Amino acid sequence: MRHGTICALAALVLCQASIPASAGNCLSRNEGFELISDTVHWAFSIRGGTDCLQGLRGRAMLINEIKIVEPPAAGTLTIAGPAFFYRAPANGSSDRFKLEVAGENNRMRGTSVIVVDVSIR
């Protein structure tokens, strides 16, 4: 295991240890992505002031990099290893952000863009 991989795993564990119990898989709609220059759309609903931690890696997928292409307008977004951590503002009605994921899927290298629509209740 390379040093960078160990550091990324340690960062994810430390991040998850500090996340409140309300965090978890909060997607209500998600299309699978294939890392073949595809764009997919995900959506979730979340209460204002709460958090969402969502993993991105599929079974046969190795993620090398995740970039925030378009940050959310209202909430906060951070990348935590092969996942994103979104915190909703205390009040609001909707938010949106875009991620670009680069890596390898079934031994083929490529990228995907994930557009995430957030409904804040």
Q: What is the pLDDT of residues 22-77, one digit of tens each?
A: 345 678 877 889 999 999 999 999 999 999 999 998 888 999 999 999 999 999 99
* 110 in Cβ contact with 35 (< 8 Å): yes
Block residue for tokens 């031994």: 107
* Phi, psi values for residue 102, rounded to 5°: -120, 140
Specify the residue for token string 């409904």: 119
pLDDT score for 52: 93
Residue 111 has pLDDT above 50, yes or no: yes
Q: How far apart are CA 50 and CA 23, in angstroms?
A: 7
Please tell me the distance from the alpha carbon of residue 108 to that of residue 119, in angstroms, as a whole number: 34
Mean pLDDT of 112-117: 97
| Total of domains in the chain | 1
Share of the chain above pLDDT 90, in %: 64
pLDDT the model gives residue 92? 81
Domain that holds residue 89: 3-120
CATH number at residue 44: 2.60.40
Query: What's residue 25's pLDDT?
Result: 66
Average pLDDT over the chain reads 82
Distance CA 28, CA 14 (A): 26
